Amino acid sequence: MVRKVTINDLAQAAGTSVTTVSQILNGKGDRFSADTRKRVLNLKVEMNYVPDFNARNLIMKSAQTIGVLVPNVGNPFFSELIKGIQTIARENQFIPIIFSSNHDAELEKYYLEKLVERSVSGLIIASAAITAEVIDEILNPNNIKYLLIDENTVEAGDTVQTDDYHGGQLAAQHLIDLHHKKIAMIISDSLTNNLRRRLQGFEDVCIKNDIDLKTDIVKIASPMTKRGGYEAVTELVKHPEVTAVFTINDEMAVGVYRGLRERKIDIPNDLSVIGYDGIEWGEYFSPKLTTIRQPIIELGKKSAEVLLNRVNNPKVKTQTVNLPVELVARESTTQNTK
Amino acid sequence: MVRKVTINDLAQAAGTSVTTVSQILNGKGDRFSADTRKRVLNLKVEMNYVPDFNARNLIMKSAQTIGVLVPNVGNPFFSELIKGIQTIARENQFIPIIFSSNHDAELEKYYLEKLVERSVSGLIIASAAITAEVIDEILNPNNIKYLLIDENTVEAGDTVQTDDYHGGQLAAQHLIDLHHKKIAMIISDSLTNNLRRRLQGFEDVCIKNDIDLKTDIVKIASPMTKRGGYEAVTELVKHPEVTAVFTINDEMAVGVYRGLRERKIDIPNDLSVIGYDGIEWGEYFSPKLTTIRQPIIELGKKSAEVLLNRVNNPKVKTQTVNLPVELVARESTTQNTK
DNA sequence: TTGTAAGCGTTATCAG
DNA sequence: CTGATAACGCTTACAA
């Protein structure tokens, strides 16, 4: 077993004190002779010295770490989100620790505590298994900043969100422009705030266009996964009057594709489908998925920026970022001819 | 700002010494009176005491952390792998820190160093941007155990792998059973060891069946992504004699689907497609993707098990796990009638 | 049954 | 320009 090289070893090798080494290595060594400086720097590389993280953080009280809680890394939406976060984190010399909580409140709480234990500086929470209140209860006493996004948005504090309400509007308007009047909505079996806004936008536009929420709209709730979408089709086909379906996210749309295909129902000729998210995969399905695109990577980046800014300047005034969404009309929706 | 409660505060409140508190909280307090024990335990909850992670690890020399390096979290193969790792990690009270290196050697090295800095106990590396030698060079002096899997397998040391060679054989045999004689292989533009084995198995079976590697097989190299598969089609269609295509992973197959569809080439009637990996998405595409299924979650679990076992018992003898693969014949392959 | 004190590897203060 | 020395919060011999 090789003992780790410590600052002591390095100081000894350089024939200086640990103070000297520490200062030089931390960029505070202007006052030392160029000679000493070079000697230390070289030795550091040569001896492969890496400062001990724990010792360092113990005294610095910062682990240069942020935590990220998502419901499901398997969903491309979240893996793209993570990419955005990772980019900004890296630029700021922060490390993100990512947990996928699988919509399991128990697990989520467990991870939350682990993260607190590690004294992360901040947290980005995109998962809503546990409520904002509980999160606050755990995080606040430990002075950990956090940002709730996507599933877990709230009104107060720093906010980074996409315009879900408008996204819902766009989706409805698109279907209505195509003369659809009987529409199915495939929604989550546990609605979070962002999803509620999304639906609200959708429904408001429907109402404005004389589409009756009671008689013209079919709502089907299911888990927000490919399988959930797939299973929702069983219910969907019980409503033959429906000519278009809005799925609350792209992953469910993919499930719907499969369900319809297995029943020989053609998209878009028998049934138009519009999704939500704008994941890369949508373009690879046949027909290419019409959807509402969120700027996912951007959402990740902005979230990280806002959080880190808060971490670095606790007193900065409330930050609000609103990102636009857009309709991406592709092949899965078409004119209603019935 | 709320100061964190330390073991000292707790000891003071309990009217005992820190030793007492420490011992009791670490389950080594049998020797103390039930009374003291209860007092300390209660106070811990009451005062919301959480041991300082850094201080603790500094002395324990273990951060109960493993690092995981994958090329791309966006690829479902890796997100499933991560799920498996996370499950076992959690069971063992370990935290996985996951990095997606994007096939960028620079980035990979950066993350590797960050991980070393944090004195992780072990590392699972499924990414091959940098070589095993460099990895060894960085990790060994720091006494960090690691396990190379998937892209980055080697012959020596602990090994967890799926039977790539056999997988390649299965794929070839399947196509040959369907009477395909002119076959395209869409492969990675940077072949890693596991992929080489995969190809070797494929080619060996071809040879055994009088298929000439020179004249009957077309090889197209492209990045291992959806887009890479998509772009490979441009080259693929230059070979109209080809009746079947083997893509080295499922994600590329998805890209091929799109490329062929845009050219009105029907799968499987004009061209059979077989992928590799067995990601969940394969079943959601139309036609459902025929593929070679690797036990991905299992691969993640076993990897974590083997690594953690190595971490806990450095002297245990070399561990080898070989996981089976299987052909999943679905709809994207059919008899060759040409 | 309990407490004292040393030490983990680092940074920061302050005196040379 | 440089180096003792304290301090961070914890665990663990070793005493009592």
Q: Cα–Cα distance between B107 and B105 in angstroms, integer?
A: 5
**A207-235: per-residue pLDDT in tens?**
999 999 999 999 999 999 999 999 999 99
**Is B259 inside any structural domain?**
yes
pLDDT digits (tens, 9 = 90+) for A286-295: 999 999 999 9
Backbone angles phi, psi at B108, to 5 degrees: -60, -45
As a whole number, mean pLDDT of residues A307-326 equals: 93
Which pLDDT belongs to residue B47? 86
Q: What are phi and psi of B122, to 5 degrees?
A: -160, 170
Cα separation, B24 vs A56, in Å, equals 27
Residue A329 lies in a domain: no
Is B195 part of a structural domain of the chain?
A: yes
Does residue B225 lie within any of the structural domains?
yes
pLDDT, tens digit (0-9, with 9 covering 90-100), for A232-249? 999 999 999 999 999 999
Tens digit of each residue's pLDDT (9 = 90 or more) over B208-232: 999 999 999 999 999 999 999 999 9
Q: Please state whether strand D lies within 7 Å of residue B106 at its CB atom.
A: no
d(CA A14, CA A20): 10
How do the residues of chain A divide into helix, strand and coil, expressed in percent and rounded to 5?
45, 15, 35
pTM of the model: 0.90
Amino acid occupying residue B148: L
| Distance between CA atoms of residues B236 and B255, nearest Å | 12
- Mean pLDDT, residues A56-66: 86
In this structure, how many other beta carbons lie within 10 angstroms of the beta carbon of residue B324?
A: 12
pLDDT value of position A144: 87
Residue B128 shares a structural domain with residue B86: yes
Task: Tell me the shortest Cα–Cα distance from A153 to chain B, in angstroms.
Answer: 24
B174 and B221 belong to one structural domain: yes
Query: What pLDDT score does B2 carry?
Result: 53
Q: Are residues A132 and A96 in the same domain?
A: yes
- The verdict on A81 and A146 lying in the same domain is yes
Smallest Cβ–Cβ distance between A284 and the set B80, B141, B226 belongs to B226
Specify whether A175 is located in the same domain as A285.
yes
Question: Looking at the structure, do residues B169 and B239 belong to the same domain, yes or no?
Answer: yes
In a domain, B145, yes or no: yes
Question: Is pLDDT of A280 > 90?
Answer: yes
Structure tokens at A119: 């004294």
- The nearest CA of chain A is from the CA of B296 a distance in Å of 13
Quick one: B203 and B89 in the same domain? no
> Is residue B1 predicted with pLDDT exceeding 50?
no
Task: Dig out the tokens for A110 from the structure.
Answer: 């467990």
Of the pLDDT bands very low, low, confident and very high (cuts 50, 70, 90), residue B329 is very high
State the Cα–Cα distance between residues A85 and B323, nearest whole angstrom: 34
Indicate if A71 and A85 belong to the same structural domain: yes
| Closest residue of chain B to A54, computed from CA coordinates | B54
Q: What is the mean pLDDT of chain B?
A: 92
Judge: B118–A95 Cβ closer than 8 Å, yes or no. yes
Model pLDDT, residue A28? 85
> Max alpha carbon distance in chain B (Å)?
89
Element (H, E) at B220: strand B217-222
Averaged over B83-88, what is the pLDDT? 95
Residues A67-93 as b/e (b if ≥16 CB within 10 A, e otherwise) read bbbbbbbbbbbbbbbbbbbbebbbebe
A168 or A4, higher pLDDT: A168
Quick check: B50 contacting A, CB < 8 Å? yes
The pLDDT, as a whole number, for residue B300 is: 98
Residue B19 Cβ under 7 A from any strand D atom: yes
Instruction: Clarify whether residues B121 and B153 are in a common domain.
Output: yes
CA nearest neighbour of B254 among B87, B26, B15, B74:
B74
Q: Nearest-CA neighbor of A99 among A129, A143, A136, A63?
A: A129
* Residue A65 in this model has a pLDDT that exceeds 80: yes
Angle between helices B105-117 and B132-139 (to 10 degrees): 20
Chain A residue closest in CA terms to B138 = A48
CATH classification of the domain holding B35: 1.10.260.40
pLDDT of residue A1: 45
Number of domains in chain A: 3
The predicted pLDDT at position A3 comes to 62
Question: What backbone phi and psi angles, to 5 degrees, belong to A211?
Answer: -100, 125
What confidence score (pLDDT) does residue A97 get? 93
* Amino acid (1-letter code) at residue B56: R
Nearest to B57 among A48, A54, A114 (CB): A54
A110: in domain: yes
**Whole-angstrom distance, CA of residue B87 vs CA of residue B78:** 14
**Structure tokens belonging to residue B138:** 């960085």
The CATH number of the domain where A303 resides is what?
A: 3.40.50.2300
If asked whether residues B109 and B258 sit together in one domain, one would say no
In terms of domains, do A188 and A271 share one? yes
Give domain status of residue A215, yes or no.
yes
Got the DSSP string for A263-289?
TT--TTTT-EEE-SB--GGGGGSSSPP
Model confidence at A103, in pLDDT bands (50, 70, 90)? confident
What is the extent of the structural domain holding B231?
164-294
**A33 SS3 class:** coil
Residues A113 and A136 both lie in one domain: yes
- DSSP bridge partners of A94: none
Structure tokens at B128: 């091959």
Residue A263 domain-assigned? yes
- Chain centroid to CA B36: 47
